[in-house]
Amino acid sequence: MRFRGRSYIAFVLTPEAPIFDWLADLDAWTRRSAGFFVGKPVVLDLSAVRLSKDAVAHLVAELQTRDIRIMGIEGINPSEVGPELPPILKGGRTAATAVEPVEPSPPAPEPTPAAQEAGSLLLESPVRSGQSVVFPHGDVTVLGSVASGAEIIAGGSIHVYGTLRGRALAGSIGNPRARIFCHRAEAELLAIDGFYRTAEDMEPSLRSQPIQAWLQGEVMLIAPLN
Amino acid sequence: MAQVLVVTSGKGGVGKTTSTAALGAALAQAGQTVVVVDFDVGLRNLDLVMGAERRVVFDLVNVIQGAAKLQQALIRDKRIDTLWLLPASQTRDKDALTANGVARVIAELKQKFDWVICDSPAGIERGATLAMRHADSAVIVTNPEVSSVRDSDRIIGLLDSKTEKAEKGGRVDKHLLISRYDPGRAARGEMLTINDVLEILSIPLLGVVPESEEVLRASNVGSPVTMCNPSSAAARAYCDAVRRLRGENVPMTIPTDKKRFMEKLFGRRAA
């Protein structure tokens, strides 16, 4: 058996006090875009308001009557949510910020809006040791090098036009068709859809070569690019 | 306008303090007013390398906590009167540094000096991040070996994200100073070559300081190598680096100690 994590994009509603006015604003908005929330996963962020357990249940029910189904709640103490309410979510990230650091501050540059819309992330500067670039929404292209001790995690394929010395993890959200391309392979680890190979079990003749890696069934293949 | 320069590396023992002293002294010798600030609270060394260890009364932590005025803590060099030292405290640790306190001290130093050179401690924790916090430019000291290069790469990432300039959308100017370089060993493949290091770090090269006994000798007598023995290879490398730092276009060479070279030559002949 294999358990895999998967990330999805959800809409986040952040109610503000007073709730009654906020619901009225929401109604006014949905009148203009009828059916906008139908069938879409919605998360309720309660960090901006202070609500009792009953008030939360009431709010969820109110939203239900407007055809807004809440898949999870965040920004609230677990003790305030009973089993009848949607589960608590934690660690959510704003989808617009595709580059997430390991450390509290962002070491990598923000992606340009244009690159995001295209479902790909273009990094024009080198990825430095210790930086972690996470982009679950598509391909990542790095024009410079990826340093030893750095990692790129992409939902799609990874393209590195410099030297790949760190780790590249493609197809991280369960995409076996993702590939890794690099101009010069010195990688510490390559992974596609959870299957990986470390530097030690890569063919020595591929070192310092332009390569691509892909999955064939459950085997990762690496071949020179020419 | 004062320049705030941080000398940093990530890894310890690569020559940050030696380079801070040598660059500071060379800048002062070129007529600039310079203060070198030791951020290595708890493990201070810059006072020793500058030969001022017997004159420390107040230190950076005293100034940050308001126990002393900046003027009381600054120590003027006895050899060059435009060179000053702000020592670190040896009895405290890095937690004694506060973000606001450091900001205030740096702002005050910028009023008084042309160059504020911050000697960063090793590591990537509080001391190192506060040392680089207000930098306009950075000298990254790297030895030609893999662990030092990777740590430098990490530090470059932090310079691009954790400094005040980076957070405002700007860029800290980064300069690579390769120290303890031995051309012979690099040629034999026993250490990384300059090109290897440049290729990995991809930042402009400020200078190459050859491995030299003069550096250790200078540290031991408490005098920056550029003052102690200005004709030595290491001193010439630092002086060239300072000229490049000031915007001069100096061709990149790796100075060698002529005398040692001749000794080697004769030594070989005799053998």
ipTM: 0.72
A128 contacts in B (CB within 8 Å)?
153-154, 156-157, 160
Model confidence pLDDT, tens digit, residues B109-127: 999 999 999 999 999 999 9
pLDDT at position B154: 96
CA–CA distance, A156 with A133 (Å, rounded to integer):
13
Instruction: Judge if the upstream peptide bond of residue A15 is cis by omega within 30 degrees of 0.
Output: no
Residue A204: DSSP 8-state:
G
Question: A-B interface: how many C-beta pairs under 8 angstroms?
Answer: 44
Model confidence pLDDT, tens digit, residues B197-228: 999 999 999 999 999 999 999 999 999 999 99
Q: Mutating which of B129, B161, B164, B198 best tests the A interface, going by the most A Cβ atoms within 10 A? A: B161
pLDDT average per 10 residues of sequence, chain A (226 residues) = 71 84 83 70 84 84 84 81 79 52 42 56 94 92 94 95 95 93 95 91 92 94 92
More confident residue, B248 or B268: B248
Question: B174 to chain A nearest CA, in Å?
Answer: 14
Q: Which of A107, A147, A165 sits opposite B161 (nearest CB)?
A: A107
Q: For chain B, give the mean pLDDT.
A: 93
Q: Is the CB of B157 less than 8 angstroms away from the CB of A129? A: yes
A126 touches chain B (CB under 8 A): yes
Show Cβ contacts of residue A136 under 8 Å, excluding neighbours closer than 6 positions. Answer: A7, A153, A154, A155, A172, A173
Q: Mutating which of A112, A128, A151 best tests the B interface, going by the most B Cβ atoms within 10 A? A: A128
* β-sheet with B34-38: strand ranges across: B75-76, B83-86, B34-38, B115-119, B3-8, B137-142, B173-181, B205-210
CA–CA distance, A19 with A59 (Å, rounded to integer):
8
Q: Is the CB of A147 less than 8 angstroms away from the CB of B202? A: no
Contact B170, B136 (CB under 8 A): no
pLDDT at position B271: 41
